[in-house]
Amino acid sequence: MNKVVKNAQEAIKDIQDNSTIMFGGFGLCGIPENCITALKEKMVKNLVAISNNCGVDDFGLGILLKTRQIRKMIASYVGENAEFERQMLSGELEVELNPQGTLAERIRATGAGIPAFFVPAGYGTEVGIGKEAREFNGKMHLMELALHADFAVVKAWKGDTHGNLIYKHTAANFNNMMAMAGKITIAEVEELVPAGQLDPNQIHTPGIFVQRIFQGVNYEKRIEQLTVSK
């Protein structure tokens, strides 16, 4: 199976309106910039996006939000995106907020073949409305369902032509677990090498989970919040 595609446009060519997509990254760290741009250019609409947050107003998933291509956001927090906050409060955007650990486990559970699990986070709050609750070891827990997606779009530091991926430091964030959870996983990498060149002991995501891979271009190293001394 040849997994290498030419660019982001070719990688996302079969993503259609109403698709559910997992987007790797945390804020602006480890996000699949090329694929997000390609989706904007293709103008696919009514997307259900699963990601920790929605980036910022003019970068990351924020650009798809700005063009109203996202119908529903399943995330952990609003983050630094004022447009996300505005659309959520006005009712223009459907939002399902999850405790961050719960969101991570709902994604990881899919890759592990676990349909549901119990977690204490959120019990007694709005998060628990409509969910089954059970007591374990004297503490109440909520049942959470695994999250499923038509596509997982991730970003890695290095990859090979078999789809094996290595992430760099904190850019691993949600990328590794999402790569295991999508029906079709698309990986963009900063450096694409022939199979066999990566140290097997350094590989984070085995290539069996990746269906398409390409070498991205023009990555920006933005800082979400710049803090400097006086």
Burial class (CB in 10 A: 0-12, 13-18, 19+), 200: exposed
**In the predicted structure, residue 152 carries a pLDDT above the cut 80:** yes
Q: What is the pTM of this model?
A: 0.94
Spatial separation of the C-alpha atoms in residues 109 and 38, rounded to whole Å:
29
Residues of the chain with pLDDT > 90, as a percent, come to: 88
Mean pLDDT of 24-51: 96
Domains recognised in the chain with CATH numbers: 8-117+146-215 (3.40.1080.10)
**pLDDT band at residue 135 under the 50/70/90 scheme:** very high
Spatial separation of the C-alpha atoms in residues 178 and 120, rounded to whole Å:
23
Name the amino acid, one letter, at 70.
I
Other CB atoms within 10 Å distance of the CB of residue 90: 8
Give the ranges where 67-203 is alpha helix by DSSP (H): 82-90, 100-112, 175-179
- Per-residue pLDDT tens over the stretch 63-122: 999 999 999 999 998 877 889 989 999 999 999 999 999 999 999 999 999 999 999 999
The position carrying tokens 């709902």 is 106
DSSP 16-79: -TT-EEEE--BTTBS--HHHHHHHHHHT--SEEEESS---BTTBTTHHHHHTT-EEEEEES--T
- Per-residue pLDDT tens over the stretch 65-78: 999 999 999 999 88
Q: Closest Cα partner for 179 from 24, 42, 13, 72?
A: 24
The position carrying tokens 């969101």 is 103
pLDDT at 48: 98
Q: Closest Cα partner for 106 from 116, 94, 120?
A: 116
Longest Cα separation, the chain: 56
Rg of the chain over CA atoms, in angstroms? 18
